[in-house]
Amino acid sequence: MPSLSYQEKSLYGELLADLAVFVPYFIFIHTPQQLTVSFIAGAIVVLILARVLLQAVIAMVTRNRLQDERDRLIRLRGYRAGYLTILGEMLFGTAALWLHTMLGQLNPAHMALHFFSVFVAILMLAEVVKTVTQIIAYRRPL
C-alpha cells in the first residue's frame, strides 16, 4: 500500500463524499416525484456537509499538510479535465433538452426545473472527473 500525502487523502475523501451523494441522487432523480427543487438542493447541502466532515477528519489525522509544486500541477490538471467535461456535457445536455422538448416529452411548465437538474448533474459529473483525474495523476508519471 503506497503512502498517501494529505492532498491524496483529501481527494479520496472528496470522491467518497461525492459518490455517497451522487449515486443515490442519480438513482432517485429519475423518479418523477423526486424531481423537485428541495430534493436537488438537499443533495447539494448533504454533499457540502459530507465533504466538510470528511475533510475535517482527514485534517485531524494528518500531521503534514504541506502542498508543493506537484500538488499544484496535479490540481490544475484536474480542473482542466473538469472544465472540459462541463463543456462537453453542456453541449450534450442542451441538445438532449432541446430534443426532448421538440418531441414533446417535456412539460414546458417544468422546463426550468429540468434545466436546473441537468445543470446540477453536469456539475456533479465534472466534479467526479476532476477528482478521479487528480487521483490518477498522483499515481502516474507527470
Partner 1 sequence: MPRIRNTIRELRAAREMTQQQLADRIDLTRQTVIAIEGDKYSPSLETAFRIAQVFGVPLEQVFQYEGKGKR
* Residues lying near partner 1 in the complex (CB under 8 A): 3-8, 64, 66-71, 138, 140-142
Q: How far is the CB of 1 from partner 1 (least distance, A)?
A: 13
Nearer to partner 1, 6 or 79 (CB): 6
Nearer to partner 1, 116 or 138 (CB): 138
DSSP E strand boundaries for the chain: none
Name the DSSP class of 72.
H
Q: How far is the CB of 82 from partner 1 (least distance, A)?
A: 22
Q: How far is the CB of 71 from partner 1 (least distance, A)?
A: 7
- Grid cell digits, residue 67: 502542498
Nearer to partner 1, 6 or 115 (CB): 6
Q: Residue written as cell 491524496?
A: 8
Nearer to partner 1, 5 or 117 (CB): 5
Mapping DSSP onto H, E and C, the string for 92-124 reads: HHHHHHHHHHHCCCCCHHHHHHHHHHHHHHHHH
What is d(CA 19, CA 13) in angstroms, rounded to the nearest whole number?
10
From 12, 132, 5, 139, select the one nearest 67 (Cα to Cα).
Answer: 5
Q: How far is the CB of 69 from partner 1 (least distance, A)?
A: 5
